Amino acid sequence: MNKMYLTLGDPSNDGHGQTEEPLLESNKTLKEVQRAYKDSCTITGIAFSNDICREYEDSMLSNEVCEKLEKFKCPLLKKWEDEDKPHGDGREMYPERITDLFIWFVNLSLGEDELQEASDDEQIPSINNTYGSDLFTQIGYGVFC
């Protein structure tokens, strides 16, 4: 399986500087996953970078985007409807929900369950931040001031 991170938030750190990076896995290559994302954008008319939680403190999935997703029978909308209090503005989003939606979205073009969250029992080691390893050392601490 190929493992890859989905970076959410502000990876360039030129705004709020907050990010999360859920680990995903697929038997497809990174390039194939990227192509599937672009294909799903074309099919649905939705682009995460333009249509979903784009601005600071914009944590709602708009009704317009929800309507587009309903056309493709996105099962997450019903799940979230059952979990949330009613909102007239759409669906409230969290990092976990964006990750789930991204996975479903990419799988529209890849095929069911081709992309998924990586299991927690597998860990990707850090080069320099694993206690007891041959290289347990701090690197670049001073660059964050």
69, part of any domain:
no
pLDDT truncated to tens, each residue of the chain (145 aa)?
888 888 887 766 666 667 778 888 999 988 899 999 999 999 999 988 888 887 777 788 888 999 999 999 999 988 888 777 666 677 888 888 889 999 999 999 998 778 998 876 556 656 566 566 666 655 555 444 3
* Single-letter residue type at 59: S
112, part of any domain:
yes
Query: Do residues 100 and 74 touch, judged by C-beta distance below 8 A?
Result: no
61, part of any domain:
no
Structural domain count, the chain: 1
The span from the CA of 111 to the CA of 36, in Å, is 10
62, part of any domain:
no
Cβ neighbours around 128 below 10 Å, total: 13
- The pLDDT tens digits of the residues spanning 63-83 come to 899 999 999 999 998 888 877
Report the mean per-residue pLDDT for the chain: 80
27, part of any domain:
yes
Phi, psi of 77 (to 5 degrees): -60, -45
14, part of any domain:
yes
pTM of the model as a whole: 0.78
22, part of any domain:
yes
